[in-house]
């Protein structure tokens, strides 16, 4: 299937793709795994799609279809899964060709620039929250209010969680509350674990921040049987206080993206609850400058590239 790209988000993982001096498939590389566009060409034997339909592709870019994970419906964890920008040319382009089983239907009501980030940031945070075991009325904290975190705060509030936003700097408090947070903790001023305990502790702490350093200190903020879910990290080895995990039946887990069906569900939920990614659009020709803005933490909140028609 070939799509004409209308919008393509910039994810933190794209920075790693750009900086890789030895890409697995060699040069040239085309990053981009948050893609929204329209169907331009159908593959042989493809059914259920029509030229001109709104469609996208995210971090999940295809799977083998025959392994145990695929046959059990867990296509995201297929050992041979494909990722746009790594397995084949990605979405920082005017066109992209993808396996049909990776396609996402984009509902009316979302602009293409809004739809693009759902392919990674949107579905990842949506799945992390809804699969956490937390129930409406539970207290949930979101660490970081950047590209992933600003969506996580909105989703958490919309799902009925008492939502705590955690970031560095008092200047971010108004934004966090505007996104739907009920509480804000300034991590540059307060120790996060004790601050969360003062609120009563959290059933879930969702860490979207790029740094792994604060993770160990978050454990104290969990109630018994609480969960720390990590979706943002920098690869730094992590030392956890195992006694605090074992003695209180706490757990640490991760969340990796979602299937096309998951992404479509995240979009429908967003439309029903008025959750939207906040994006800055930039012409594709200025991709380098947009990436630098994202890396500097100056994006508010997701940079999206728009190819010239």
Q: Give residue-wise pLDDT tens across range 221-231.
A: 999 999 999 99
Of 147-151, 255-259, 295-299, where does mean pLDDT reach its minimum?
295-299
Q: Report residue 92's pLDDT band, with 50, 70 and 90 as the boundaries.
A: very high
pLDDT tens-digit series, residues 160-203: 999 999 999 999 999 999 999 999 999 999 999 999 999 999 99
CB 148 within 8 Å of CB 125: yes
CATH code, 123-254:
3.40.50.720
Query: In whole numbers, what is the pLDDT of the chain averaged over residues?
Result: 95
Residue ranges per domain, the chain? 2-120+258-306, 123-254
The pLDDT assigned to 13 comes to 87
pLDDT tens-digit series, residues 128-169: 999 999 999 999 999 999 999 999 999 999 999 999 999 999
Superfamily of domain 2-120+258-306: Medium-chain alcohol dehydrogenases, catalytic domain (3.90.180.10)
Query: Per mean pLDDT, which of 114-123, 205-214, 291-300 is the most reliable?
Result: 114-123
The pLDDT assigned to 294 comes to 87
Q: Report residue 25's pLDDT band, with 50, 70 and 90 as the boundaries.
A: confident
Q: Report residue 110's pLDDT band, with 50, 70 and 90 as the boundaries.
A: very high
Please check the confidence at residue 235 and state whether its pLDDT lies above 80. Answer: no
Please check the confidence at residue 16 and state whether its pLDDT lies above 90. Answer: no
Q: Report residue 237's pLDDT band, with 50, 70 and 90 as the boundaries.
A: confident
Secondary structure (H, E, C), the chain: CEEEEEEEECCHHHHHHHHCCCCCCCCCCCCCCCEEEEEEECCCCCCCCCCCCEEEECCCCCCCCCCHHHHCCCHHHCCCCCCECCCECCCCCCEEECCHHHCEECCCCCCHHHHHHHHCHHHHHHHHHHCCCCCCCCEEEEECCCCCHHHHHHHHHHCCCEEEEEECCHHHHHHHHHHCCCEEEECCCCCHHHHHHHHCCEEEEEECCCCCCCHHHHHHHEEEEEEEEECCCCCCCCCCCHHHHHCCCCEEEECCCCCHHHHHHHHHHHHHHCCCCCEEEEEHHHHHHHHHHHHCCCCCCEEEEECCC
The pLDDT assigned to 211 comes to 83
The pLDDT assigned to 41 comes to 97
Mean pLDDT to the nearest integer, 275-303? 93
Q: CB count, 10 Å around CB of 288?
A: 9
Residues 6+ apart with CB under 8 A from 201: 139, 221, 222, 223, 226
Please check the confidence at residue 309 and state whether its pLDDT lies above 80. Answer: no
Contacts of 22-27 with CB under 8 Å at 24 or more apart are 23/86, 24/86, 25/86, 25/87
The pLDDT assigned to 214 comes to 86
The pLDDT assigned to 123 comes to 98
């Amino acid at each position: 299937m070939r799509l004409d790209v209308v919008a393509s988000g910039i994810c933190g993982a794209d920075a790693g793709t750009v900086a890789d001096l030895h890409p697995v498939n060699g040069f040239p590389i085309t990053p981009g795994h948050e893609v929204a566009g329209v169907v331009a060409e159908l593959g042989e034997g493809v059914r259920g799609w029509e030229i001109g339909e709104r469609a996208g592709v995210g971090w999940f870019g295809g799977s083998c279809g025959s392994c145990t994970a695929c046959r059990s419906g867990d296509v995201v964890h297929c050992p041979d899964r494909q990722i746009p920008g790594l397995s084949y040319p990605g979405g920082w382009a005017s066109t992209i060709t993808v396996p049909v089983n990776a396609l996402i239907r984009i509902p009316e009501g979302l602009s293409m620039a809004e739809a693009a980030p759902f392919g990674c940031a949107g579905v990842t945070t949506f799945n992390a929250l809804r699969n956490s075991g937390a129930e409406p009325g539970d207290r949930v904290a979101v660490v970081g209010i950047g590209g992933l975190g600003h969506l996580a705060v909105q989703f958490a509030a919309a799902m009925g969680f008492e939502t705590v936003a955690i970031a560095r700097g008092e200047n971010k408090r108004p934004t966090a509350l505007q996104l739907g947070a009920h509480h804000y903790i300034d991590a540059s001023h307060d120790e996060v674990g004790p601050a969360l305990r003062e609120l009563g502790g959290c059933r879930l702490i969702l860490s979207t921040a790029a740094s792994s350093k604060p993770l160990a200190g978050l454990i104290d903020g969990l109630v018994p049987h609480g969960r720390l879910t990590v979706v943002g990290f920098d690869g730094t080895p992590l030392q956890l206080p195992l006694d605090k995990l074992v003695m209180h039946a706490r757990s640490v887990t991760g969340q990796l993206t979602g299937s096309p069906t998951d992404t479509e569900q995240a979009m429908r939920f967003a439309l029903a609850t008025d959750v939207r990614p906040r994006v800055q659009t930039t012409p594709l020709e200025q991709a380098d400058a947009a990436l630098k803005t994202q890396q500097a933490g100056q994006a508010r909140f997701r940079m999206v590239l728009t190819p010239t028609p």
